[in-house]
């Protein structure tokens, strides 16, 4: 019968597929366990020698990666050590070793078809600080079809290696990178480069402006305080909010007049950030405004005000006054919560 014949064929086809799958899994597992063992053996045998090389610079034939598995073993050893030991000399030795023995291989696999291999290579080039591969990395980048993650990593490497054209690359990205990536790249820039970015602030795309402001706050760069203040006149609300946040982080003293306009802003995130600055500077003249803001219609604003007040040396007394005098139940509840939280400290 025709149908039966078809079924038999399907059945045998499936059996063949299943056999292939199962054999693949088995062979792979056996192979994997064995290579892992060999790599571990190599690592155990050379760990001491590698340590001596990194500390004293004494080379040995034992470290010669003359076998593909040995390359992997050396890579892992170097990577482990680079996380543990610090110091200029060691860093240079790691770089020298990697450039001598891994560079040729990396130059090839940097253009591998599989994404994960390219990605791993990029990570290793950065980790071992292999500057000699920078032209190859740039070639990969310019060639066109890199992924978003690769672009982020490549730009970060350009920042780490202090590439002169970083500004151009950074402002002309192929993808919309995430704010996290931008921050990481800003964080890897040298002082001089970072300053250049601040100087050319107006030329930057919006996201780059936002993250640059964030980074000033995160890195606590008080020297850019007046720059942040100048941004507060911006038309863009997001810029104002982020600048206020950064100001509260670096501890820059804002003129009271200026602060008041933001405390009374129509946008509640802006009010919150301004309140944060009050809580950080803790000047007596802010207290009446903060007490007023405890009656704000936004929960977050009330909460932030109470927190700012509890930061004051006499914060508990102020909160107690609010509890005793106010008719606003929202303000009283919030004051109660923060009075208690203050006591815990």
Residues within the interface to other proteins (CB under 8 A): 1, 3-4, 7-8, 10-11, 14-15, 17-18, 21-22, 24-26, 28-30, 33, 114-117, 119-120, 123, 127, 149, 178-181, 183-184, 214, 218, 299, 303, 333-334, 336-337, 340-341, 344
Give the H or E element holding residue 20.
Answer: helix 2-56
Residues 98, 54: Cα–Cα separation, whole Å: 12
- Residue 96, token pair as written in the block: 């020298």
Distant-in-sequence, close-in-space partners of 308: CB < 8 Å, separation ≥ 6: 275, 276, 278, 279, 286, 290
Shortest distance (Å) from residue 25 CB to other proteins? 5
Residue 333 and residue 180: Cα distance in Å, rounded?
Answer: 37
Angle, alpha carbons 286-290-292 (nearest 5°): 120
State the number of CA atoms in the 13 A half-sphere of 161 facing the CB. Answer: 24
Q: Which is nearer to other proteins, 94 or 259 (CB)?
A: 94
- The answer to whether 227 and 190 are in contact (CB under 8 A) is no
CA 331 from chain centre, in angstroms, equals 38
Is the Cβ of residue 111 or residue 115 nearer to other proteins in the bound state?
Answer: 115
Nearest to other proteins of 148, 282 (CB atom) = 148
Task: State the nearest-atom distance from the C-beta of 52 to other proteins, in Å.
Answer: 26
- Of 104 and 344, CB closest to other proteins: 344
| Separation between Cα atoms, residue 325 and residue 107, nearest integer Å | 73
- Please state, in angstroms and rounded to a whole number, the distance separating the CA atoms of residues 125 and 137: 9
CB closer to other proteins, 110 vs 260? 110
In this complex, which beta carbon is closest to other proteins, that of residue 30 or of residue 237? 30
Rounded to a whole number of angstroms, the minimum distance from the CB of residue 198 to other proteins is 18
Nearer to other proteins, 150 or 270 (CB): 150
What are the angstrom distances between the C-alpha of 83 and each of 77, 80, 125, 127, 256? 10, 5, 14, 9, 47
Query: Residue 201, Cα to own-chain centre: how many angstroms?
Result: 21
- Using alpha carbons, select from 202, 268, 259 the residue that is nearest to residue 235: 202
């Amino acid at each position: 019968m025709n149908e039966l014949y078809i079924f038999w064929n399907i059945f045998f086809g499936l059996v063949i597929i299943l056999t292939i799958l199962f054999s693949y899994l088995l062979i792979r597992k056996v192979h994997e366990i064995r290579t892992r063992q060999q790599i571990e053996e190599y690592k155990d045998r050379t760990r001491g020698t590698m340590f001596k090389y990194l500390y004293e610079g004494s080379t040995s034939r034992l470290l010669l990666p003359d076998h593909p598995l040995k390359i992997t073993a050396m890579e892992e050893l170097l990577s482990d050590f680079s996380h543990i030991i610090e110091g200029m000399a060691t860093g240079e030795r790691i770089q020298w070793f990697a450039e001598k023995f891994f560079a040729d291989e990396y130059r090839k696999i940097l253009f591998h078809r599989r994404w994960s291999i390219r990605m791993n290579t990029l990570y290793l080039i950065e980790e071992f600080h292999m500057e000699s591969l920078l032209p190859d990395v740039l070639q990969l980048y310019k060639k066109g079809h890199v992924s978003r993650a690769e672009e982020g990593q490549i730009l970060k490497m350009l920042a780490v290696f202090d590439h002169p054209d970083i500004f151009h690359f950074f402002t002309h990205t192929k993808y919309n990178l995430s704010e996290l990536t931008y921050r990481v790249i800003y964080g890897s820039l040298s002082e001089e480069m970072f300053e250049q970015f601040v100087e050319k602030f107006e030329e930057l795309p919006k996201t780059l402006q936002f993250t640059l402001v964030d980074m000033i706050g995160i890195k606590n760069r008080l020297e850019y305080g007046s720059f942040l203040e100048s941004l507060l006149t911006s038309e863009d609300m997001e810029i104002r909010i982020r600048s206020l946040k950064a100001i509260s982080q670096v501890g820059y003293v804002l003129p009271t007049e200026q602060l008041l306009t933001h405390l009374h802003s129509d946008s509640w995130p802006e009010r919150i950030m301004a309140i944060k600055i009050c809580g950080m500077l803790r000047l007596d003249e802010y207290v009446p405004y903060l007490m007023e803001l405890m009656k704000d219609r936004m929960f977050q604003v009330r909460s932030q005000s109470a927190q700012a007040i509890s930061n004051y040396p006499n914060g508990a007394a102020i909160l107690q006054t609010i509890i005793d005098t106010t008719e606003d139940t929202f303000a009283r509840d919030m004051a109660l919560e923060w009075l208690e939280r203050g006591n815990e400290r």
